[in-house]
Amino acid sequence: MLLLASGCAFLTNPPPVDSVGQVAPPRVVDTQAEELPEDPITLEGPTVILISIDGFAQRYWDQADMPALKGLASAGSRAESLQPVYPSKTFPNHYSQVTGLYPEHHGIVDNSFEDPVSGQDFDFDNKDPYFWLGEPIWITAERQGLNTATMFWPGSEVSFDGDRPRYYVPYDGSIPNRKRVDQVLEWLELSDEERPRFLTLYFSDVDHEGHSYGPESASVYRALEEVDESIERLVSGLEERALLDSVDILVVSDHGMEAFSQDKVAYIDDYVDLSTVQIYSWAQHMTLDAATPEGLPAVMEQLAQIPNVRCYTKEETPAYLHFSESERIRQAVCLPDEGWVISTHVYADDGEKYSSGATHGWDPTYASMQGIFVAHGPHIQQSYVHPTIEQVQLYNLMAELLGVDPANNDGDPKEVAELLR
């Protein structure tokens, strides 16, 4: 008899679209009752587990006390860093990882934004298919006959013309990491016909502590240790089931983390008449329109005077940012230097706003914004360190590991070929 901890209500596909969250048969099982399956599990084909540790900056790697993750890296592969897409925020990056598309092509151009075309707002809870362009890897896999299961991922609750992961869990940050891991192990014990071949896991703790206490805080390193315990739980769970050598595991993060500083505030109102602009996002990633159609050239001239800030019209955004080809991108974007924020005297003069804490969203080539990449499994190169990888390359890598044909995307399979055995 198989009894594994779940604690999560998971949905099997296809649920009635209008009742997501209500159709879930809650499968809350006591963790103490965990038993291993009587017969060894034999996987039918390549199986991939994609794990995100939100906000795990590459800069934490050397100091992090993470024996489980570093064990996977030293037996398998890691990259010098995983470079985010612009803006270096959670939703644009997670969705680039699974689609191989830059935000200008997958449509999730920020964590939250107002769509200029429809006037609708996008935010973390938005599951409207209108916003989610491209084809995430779980949809590619499902459409080619593979079952998939998501233990959280941005976009995983969205219907793609009626297609979804066979199993998915509506986002609930209060579900303990341990239960998330146990859910993945439980899915791997399903019968051959039901077992997923692609699975995700997501941990937010490191990002959370980074925002609150800064990138070099003890709280961040404690959170890293705790996440490592979850990775250890997964690794030993796979070992106990004799699956560790049959499953390809990818561990990634979406972006790094950089501290604010009250000394690094660029005051836009010293240079620009705020009545001539409509500003949509502030601080480390600024987007704006001119208040009148003919006003943009004058606004750009004023913006060019702000020290420690680069501003571009949408058409002139440097190619490496891949941030122009979308109707959702505003007329101009401003990138402050590393650690700098754009603000106003009214907002930031109290001396408190940027005196502590940290964030991300800056230019993705900055050292502080780099994330991590670790891979381990039967198809992954052993004891190998790869040069920096871009988020958009992960989709082709996963398609190759799973043996499915990738949808059109912005990556190049050659960029990750060296990671494969």
* Binds 204: which of Zn ion, ligand AMP, none (CB < 5-8 Å by kind): ligand AMP
Rule CB under 5 A: is residue 391 a binding residue for Zn ion? Answer: no
Q: Residue 98 or 311: which CB sits closer to Zn ion?
A: 98
Would you say 58 or 90 has its CB closer to Zn ion? 90
87 cis-preceded (ω within 30 degrees of 0) = yes
One-character DSSP codes across 359-373: E--S-TTSGGG-B-E
CB of 254 to Zn ion, least distance (A): 4
Bridge partners, 385 (sequence order):
78
Phi, psi of 413 (to 5 degrees): -55, -30
90 given a catalytic annotation: yes
Q: Count Cβ atoms within 10 A of the Cβ of residue 56 and give its class: 0-12 exposed, 13-18 middle, 19 or more buried.
A: buried
Q: Nearest distance from residue 31's CB to ligand AMP, in Å?
A: 23
The yes or no reply on residue 54 touching Zn ion (CB under 5 A) is: yes
Rounded to the nearest 10 degrees, what angle do helices 218-240 and 177-188 cross at? 20
Number of residues that bind Zn ion (CB under 5 A): 5
Nearer to ligand AMP, 172 or 239 (CB): 172
Q: Closest approach of Cβ 90 to ligand AMP, in Å?
A: 3
- Residue 63 CB, nearest approach to ligand AMP (Å): 21
Given the rule CB under 6 A, which residues bind ligand AMP? 54-55, 89-90, 111, 124, 152-154, 171, 173, 202, 204, 207-208
Please tell me which residue in 12, 31, 47, 90 is annotated as part of the active site. Answer: 90
Report yes or no: 88 and 108 within 8 Å, Cβ to Cβ. Answer: no
Q: What is the DSSP string of 277-299?
A: EEEEE-BTSEEEEESSGGGHHHH
Among 110, 135, 205, 207, binds Zn ion (CB under 5 A): 207
Three-state DSSP state, 229 = helix
Please report whether residue 209 would count as binding Zn ion according to CB under 5 A. Answer: no
Nearer to Zn ion, 140 or 150 (CB): 150
Q: Is 339 left (phi over 0), alpha (psi -120 to 50) or beta?
A: left
Q: Give the residue numbers annotated as catalytic, written as ranges.
A: 90
Binding site for Zn ion (CB under 5 A): 54-55, 90, 207, 254
